[in-house]
Amino acid sequence: MKKPISYKQQRFLDLIQRYTLANGQAPSYEEIMDKLGFSSLGTVHWYVRTLSDDGHIHRARGPNGKRALILSEEHAVPTVLPLLGMIAAGEPIEALENAESINVPAPFVRPDNFVLKVKGTSMQDDNIEDGDYVIVRKTPQAESGQMVVALINGEATLKRYYPKGCGVELHPRNPDFPIIKIQDTDNFQINGIVLYSFREY
């Protein structure tokens, strides 16, 4: 049976959880010392040793061990993101939203990230097939060539973004699909850039 933890120990665990959620990795001992206002690294070592002995955290071995603080299951960082609907890799379709969630690799669990399920094959040359999932970072801006989730007149599509002197082009990655050229009369915005794709088996 694990010992109950104090308020200060809970603050220590909460910091590790929040930092890992935001950055995809645990804080270093120096970062913990700075953020919690400790006067020495010895205090951090004491917390790590005490919480490790009580089974609340685990220390990974290896050259990066000081950063590899892993919370026990009861304190673990969630590895899910919201699944906000379906995105067309073909013709634009209506953007959907729902309250589902899906498991993703832990480094991608960040507040501005979300997941969409892909419908269509227009991005197959980027190894994104019908039924795959994409992890998206919400942002209104993208660099030329990045894969984006774009809204065109209220409908969402997944394409590569290429700003041109005369406007914007959205390129598929399948020769069977046409380039989408955004007109001045179109209501166009970028909703996010694609960070990662995966599929469930």
pLDDT by position in tens, the chain (length 201): 567 788 899 899 888 888 877 776 788 899 999 999 999 999 999 999 999 888 888 876 544 445 568 777 777 667 788 888 888 877 665 555 555 888 887 778 888 899 999 999 999 999 999 999 999 999 999 999 999 999 999 889 999 999 988 889 999 999 999 999 998 899 999 999 999 998 875
Give the DSSP letter of residue 23: H
What is the sign, positive or negative, of the torsion defined by CA atoms of 138, 141, 145, 149?
positive
Domain boundary among 54, 75, 96: 75
Query: Under DSSP, is residue 165 helix (H, G, I), strand (E, B) or coil?
Result: coil
65 and 110 housed in the same domain: no
Instruction: Count other Cβ atoms within 10 Å, centred on residue 173.
Output: 18
Instruction: Give the CATH number of the domain where residue 25 resides.
Output: 1.10.10.10
Residue 62 confidence (pLDDT): 43
162 and 178 housed in the same domain: yes
Q: How far is 191 from 67, CA to CA, in rounded Å?
A: 33
Residue 64 confidence (pLDDT): 46
Q: How far is 49 from 3, CA to CA, in rounded Å?
A: 14
58 and 156 housed in the same domain: no
Q: Kindly state whether residue 127 falls inside one of the protein's structural domains.
A: yes
97 and 180 housed in the same domain: yes
56 and 112 housed in the same domain: no
pTM, entire model: 0.66
Q: Kindly state whether residue 165 falls inside one of the protein's structural domains.
A: yes
Residue 143 confidence (pLDDT): 96
Q: Kindly state whether residue 2 falls inside one of the protein's structural domains.
A: no
Residue carrying structure tokens 């914007």: 168
97 and 186 housed in the same domain: yes
158 and 66 housed in the same domain: no
Query: Under DSSP, is residue 106 helix (H, G, I), strand (E, B) or coil?
Result: helix
106 and 180 housed in the same domain: yes
- Domain residues for 23? 7-75
Looking at the structure of the chain, the number of domains it has is 2
Annotated active-site positions, please?
122, 159
Residue whose C-alpha is closest to residue 198's, from 81, 43, 96: 81
63 and 138 housed in the same domain: no
Contacts by 3-9 with C-beta closer than 8 Å and gap 24+? 3/54, 5/51, 5/54, 5/56, 9/47, 9/50, 9/51, 9/56
70 and 89 housed in the same domain: no
Residue 98 confidence (pLDDT): 59
32 and 89 housed in the same domain: no
Residue 84's φ and ψ, nearest 5 degrees, are: -95, 10
